[in-house]
Amino acid sequence: MSAQTWANVRPPVTETTAALSGMAGSALVSVRPARLPFFAIVTGYWLYVTLSNVLYATSMNTGLAAVTGVEPFAPAAARIAQHLLLFPALLLCYWGSLRTGWRPLWRKLAVQLPLAAAFGLMAKPALDLGDYLFLPKHEMVELAPHAAMGWLTSADLALWSASATNFLLQYGFGLALVTAFSLYQRFRDSELRVAAIEKAWTAARLAALRMQLSPHTLFNLLHVIRGQVAWDPRTAQSMIVQLADLLRRLLAAGEQDFSRLREELQFVRLYLQLQQQRFIDRLTVELPAEEQLPDVWVPSLILQPLAENAVVHGLARHDGPVGIRVEALIDDDALVLRVRNDMAPASSVVTAGIGVANVSERLAVHFTGAARFRSEPDDRGGWTAEIRIPVLRTRPSGAAQ
């Protein structure tokens, strides 16, 4: 076992997590918005623009008419018609802009700028058409200068330029809005996909860790039974029966992510009973009474590798008696699982095996920093492995059963 100080157990950075930043960086290349949200956003924005322009023109006409007697801005009906006529063009320009994207910028500007300019230049013809459709001819003449000008006069060109500039700015604000929403939507979808991939990857990783424990436990116990066959066949036969029961429990536990603490302790008790039959004069085991155990859920097979380590390293390098004590209690809203074993007085610290590494990694996967694990010498000359995890009163949602 290797000495470890208290530390939060955190999972390693995964490739799928790192891929999230790559998705965000490439999101501006090409955005394909969902049709319904896209239509709703553009419609809402254009209604706001229409209302603003109509109210502005109406208020300006009212103020100027009181002073000069002339209403230079087109009436509300013509302006509403103008915005209705421009709306299909706005949808097409926005859709084309989002499909085109912005990278590489120097190449995409050759498409984006003509789209914006084309929409801006359509503003004045749309207003003239609105005048023609909704106003009688005598009113159109009276509404000079905005509707009775020629198409090639300097005043008309100036009006066209001002109208194009105004609608170009409105086009740009709307494009920024729909682009931001589409990027958010794409990023959200990417996060959902990454979450699904990480969930599947985590499940596969935990299954691999559980399968890693099964042969490890089996090989250890087969060595134990092998040592009994030659000189105590009857004990070996009894141990084989117990091993069969242990393997049945091992297979059942290996198919689920969490089990009740009571079931986990039964599994550890059966394993330690097998070891006691081999080291009958040296190994003593102390387990908590079943009625004293809290009714909580723990990761399956989380105590098994710690019990194995306690037996293997407790009995190593000496022939004296070894005691193993397993504790389970709730302390400050945390479940504490502790396995302590005696060691030889002169025993040196050895490297942690596959079991301890397995425990640390599984805690990181299950609890993502909310669990703590330590494995170190204690002040009584023994070794203590301790796990602190959140108290789970019910089976975690999404856990394999």
Per-residue pLDDT of 215-256, as tens digits, reads 666 776 787 788 778 777 888 888 888 878 877 776 666 567
pLDDT tens digits along 118-148:
999 998 888 888 877 766 554 444 444 444 4
Tell me how crowded residue 244 is: count the other CB atoms within 10 A of its CB: 10
Q: What is the pLDDT of residue 213?
A: 52
Q: What is the pLDDT of residue 298?
A: 92
CB of 253 closer than 8 Å to CB of 300: yes
Euclidean distance between CA atoms 38 and 189, whole angstroms: 16
pLDDT tens digits along 282-294:
899 999 998 889 9
Q: What is the DSSP letter of 386?
A: E
Residue 259: band (very low, low, confident or very high) from pLDDT cuts 50, 70, 90: confident
Q: What is the pLDDT of residue 153?
A: 67
Euclidean distance between CA atoms 304 and 307, whole angstroms: 5
Query: Minimum mean pLDDT among 149-163, 307-321, 354-368: which range?
Result: 149-163
Residue 318: band (very low, low, confident or very high) from pLDDT cuts 50, 70, 90: confident
pLDDT tens digits along 339-398:
999 887 766 555 556 677 878 888 888 888 899 999 888 888 889 999 999 999 888 865
Domain map of the chain by residue range? 31-195
Q: What is the mean pLDDT of residues 97-114?
A: 86
- Residue with the larger pLDDT of the pair 245 and 176: 176
CB of 85 closer than 8 Å to CB of 129: yes
Q: What is the pTM of this model?
A: 0.51
Euclidean distance between CA atoms 143 and 70, whole angstroms: 8
